Amino acid sequence: MMTVKIHTVQNVDIEYEIANVGDRILAYLVDALILIVYSAALIFIFFSLNNSGLELAVLYWLLFYFLPVMLYDLICEIFLNGQSFGKQVRKIKVVKLDGSQPTVGSYLLRWLFRLIDISLSYGSVALLTILITGKGQRLGDIAAGTTVVKLKPRTKFGDTIFAKIDEDYSPVFNQAVELDDKIIATVKEVLDVTVEEDRHNVISLNLAQKTKQAVENKMGVQSDLPSRTFLQTVLKDYNYLKGKL
């Protein structure tokens, strides 16, 4: 099972499982079936309108068949955020390896290389390249700096430094923005392994209290908030303030 780590703009590595060859082939077949049904329906309509002039029929064929079929993958990936309908069915999508959002240029490069990857070689070049690269990349992906991954990341957001924040949230400690990811990761881990404070949870209370003191010293603040409440606040403040940078 191959995976790839994508470094996001929030400075967090998210690990995704690379879409396997089977997923990509099935997505391709679903897309092919859609195009076959579309083509059949279009042919039926054209025959129903056979009283139109030849020039008009050719124009209709170009506008409603040739261009949509040729540009199907490009149009889908641009407007469906890196997916075709087949990819949606298989729950896979195109992503950039550097964590940025794929651009129209990225999708265009992938589409242009389909001629070599798939059309002229009947998919053999794409298959060989995907197996060799180790990152699920065909030639088009290598040129565009992309790959195709399964939508569900192997690294869950709960395992990172992220915290859910309400839209109207107001930070309490602006100094939290000066903390680094390692400290925030420690805060998150302490919150995960401790329980709500009371006098019966001596170990949890001690760990949370020591972490609070260390973070207070790092930020240069003193707070009367209970330890876990303080740490939860710092975690939210950090995420909020970093998101504004």
What is the tens place of the pLDDT at every residue in 130-179?
878 878 899 999 999 999 999 875 555 445 566 677 778 889 999 988 88
pLDDT in the model for residue 81:
92
Lowest mean pLDDT among 64-68, 114-118, 174-178, 233-237: 64-68
Q: pLDDT at residue 3 above 80? A: no
Of 99 and 104, the structure prediction assigns the larger pLDDT to 104
Question: Do the Cβ atoms of 236 and 165 come closer than 8 Å?
Answer: yes
| CA count, 13 A, side-chain hemisphere, 28 | 16
pLDDT in the model for residue 80:
94
Domain spans, the chain = 3-153, 161-243
16, two tokens: 């995704």
pLDDT in the model for residue 95:
93
Kindly state the average pLDDT of the residues 13-17: 76
pLDDT in the model for residue 17:
86
Question: Do the Cβ atoms of 26 and 150 come closer than 8 Å?
Answer: no
CA distances to 43, 68, 105, 219 from 110, in Å = 29, 17, 9, 47
123, two tokens: 């998919």
pLDDT in tens, 58-100: 677 777 778 888 999 999 999 999 999 999 999 999 999 887 8
pLDDT in the model for residue 181:
77
pLDDT in the model for residue 133:
82
pLDDT in tens, 204-224: 677 788 888 889 998 999 999
Q: What is the rounded distance in angstroms from the CA atom of residue 204 to the CA atom of residue 231?
A: 13
pLDDT in tens, 177-199: 888 877 888 788 788 776 655 54
Position of tokens 């794929």?
A: 102
Of 146 and 54, the structure prediction assigns the larger pLDDT to 146
